[in-house]
Amino acid sequence: DQQVKQNSPSLSVQEGRISILNCDYTNSMFDYFLWYKKYPAEGPTFLISISSIKDKNEDGRFTVFLNKSAKHLSLHIVPSQPGDSAVYFCAAVGGGSQGNLIFGKGTKLSVKP
Amino acid sequence: EAGVAQSPRYKIIEKRQSVAFWCNPISGHATLYWYQQILGQGPKLLIQFQNNGVVDDSQLPKDRFSAERLKGVDSTLKIQPAKLEDSAVYLCASSHNMVSYTFGSGTRLTVV
């Protein structure tokens, strides 16, 4: 049973436009959420995070929104750049996970020039 | 700050052979994780160490996988004997506060 779900395997966006990546979760006890970016042949790199007590966190071109009632979070990238093309993983901590990350399956973002 | 070091980067073995992976976490990080990432999936936890003690190994296939972190610093993950379905990227990560996690580049294992 997947506790963290990324239902879109891929997303294609034009350079300069907004990229919106979505993530749903089932465990209401998760208290911290993270987004990781992964290039081929590299390990995941931390991008941005949000605590469950907040509904928005912003860092430059990246903003994460959390809707606890809907158990949904989204990552917005504005403006999108070709270098943003990668696989993006949503991950959650807490809810009995003992501090380990529970990942979604990832969304492959392609930003076209 | 040096990152999480993993070796080897790539390994090809035949099924039923054994293989070992090594991880050196960021200095001072008490918590170390091994994740398995199968193609098209998200990383899945295999084992979590706090210093040299095991916190969670509930998803480790203990009939063939073993891991140790004897001195609470670096760690090794072993598979013996390997199966075709063990083909994956094995990621090591470390954390000092269970809020910030740093991953190594991973070891890509191919079992033929």
What is chain B's pLDDT, residue by residue, as a tens digit (112 residues)? Answer: 679 999 999 999 999 999 999 999 999 999 999 999 999 999 999 999 998 899 999 999 999 999 999 888 999 999 999 999 999 999 999 998 878 899 999 999 999 9
Q: What angle do CA A38, A44, A47 make, to 5 degrees?
A: 85
CA separation for the pair B82, B18 (Å, rounded): 6
| CB atoms B42 and A45 under 8 Å | no
| Cα Rg, chain B, nearest whole Å | 13
Maximum alpha-carbon separation in chain B = 39
Chain B residues close to A101, C-beta within 8 Å = 33, 35, 43, 45, 93, 101
In 3D, which of B37, B50, B39 has the Cα closest to residue B106? Answer: B37
Mean pLDDT for A60-72 is 97
Q: Does B91 touch chain A (CB under 8 A)?
A: yes
Q: Does B106 touch chain A (CB under 8 A)?
A: yes
Exposed e or buried b per residue across A34-72, where buried means at least 16 C-beta atoms within 10 angstroms of its C-beta? bbbbbeeeebbeebbbbebeeeebeeeebbbbbeeeeee
Among A90, A101, A103, A108, the residue to mutate for chain B (most B Cβ within 10 A): A101
| CB atoms B40 and A4 under 8 Å | no
The model's confidence at residue A99, banded by pLDDT at 50, 70 and 90, is confident
